């Protein structure tokens, strides 16, 4: 005598229902490669801003040394302004990191506000890179090129059509 599994009918019935039922396969949005590239650049930017901010916040207190100034007969901070500046830049970087991350996510979803944020970020990056180039810091040429590429990619016809939907 053969033992029959009472669940066998249920499993077979469930399997046949899945196999025979037409499935609704969700169609992946046709996201242009330019938008995906820009989105990933903003994810990297968000990570970099957050890391820079945390590092700056932890490093800034190390500049709180002081020295005795014999002419004024007081103890004065060595890098008082520099400490406050580094701390300020760190806090601003930490606050901008979520905005860059959200812009990257919004770009993938085709949100117009994300495109505006991306163009503003890229424009500000290009302006600061130009000032650094004028000062002779040629490493900023790389960031200038990235900012220009992002603006170019977001202004292409295929990308504009993606954001107009």
Residue 36 falls inside a structural domain: yes
Domain extent, residue 102, equals 31-164
Q: Among 82, 102, 84, which Cα is nearest to 92's? A: 84
Residue 8 falls inside a structural domain: no
Number of domains in the chain: 1
Q: Note the pLDDT of residue 51.
A: 96
Q: What is d(CA 104, CA 102) in angstroms, rounded to the nearest whole number?
A: 5
How far is Cα of residue 138 from the mean position of the Cα atoms in its chain?
24
Residue 22 falls inside a structural domain: no
Residue 16 falls inside a structural domain: no
Under 8 Å between Cβ of 53 and 90? yes
Residue 15 falls inside a structural domain: no
Say which residue the tokens 């046949």 belong to. Answer: 16
Q: Note the pLDDT of residue 66.
A: 65
Residue 21 falls inside a structural domain: no
The predicted model scores a pTM of: 0.71
Q: Note the pLDDT of residue 79.
A: 66
Q: Note the pLDDT of residue 27.
A: 42
Residue 17 falls inside a structural domain: no
Q: What is d(CA 88, CA 82) in angstroms, rounded to the nearest whole number?
A: 10
Q: List per-residue pLDDT tens for the chain, 165 residues long.
A: 555 555 555 555 555 555 665 555 444 468 899 999 999 999 999 999 999 999 988 887 776 666 667 777 777 666 667 778 888 999 999 999 999 999 999 999 989 999 999 999 999 999 999 999 999 888 889 999 999 999 999 999 999 889 887
Residue 3 falls inside a structural domain: no
């Amino acid at each position: 005598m053969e033992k029959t599994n009472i669940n066998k009918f249920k499993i077979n019935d469930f399997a046949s229902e899945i196999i025979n039922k037409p499935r609704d396969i969700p169609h992946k949005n046709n996201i242009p490669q330019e938008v995906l590239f820009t989105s990933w650049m903003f994810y990297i930017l968000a990570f970099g801003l957050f890391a820079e901010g945390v590092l700056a916040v932890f490093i800034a207190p190390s500049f709180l040394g002081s020295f005795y100034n014999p002419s004024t007969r007081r103890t004065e901070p060595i890098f008082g302004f520099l400490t406050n500046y580094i701390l300020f830049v760190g806090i601003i970087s930490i606050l901008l990191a979520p905005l860059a991350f959200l812009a990257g996510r919004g770009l993938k979803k085709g949100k117009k506000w994300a495109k505006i944020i991306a163009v503003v970020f890229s424009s500000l990056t290009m302006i600061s890179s130009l000032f650094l180039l004028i000062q002779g810091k040629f490493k900023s040429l790389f960031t200038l090129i990235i900012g220009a590429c992002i603006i170019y990619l977001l202004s292409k016809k295929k990308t504009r059509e993606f954001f107009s939907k």
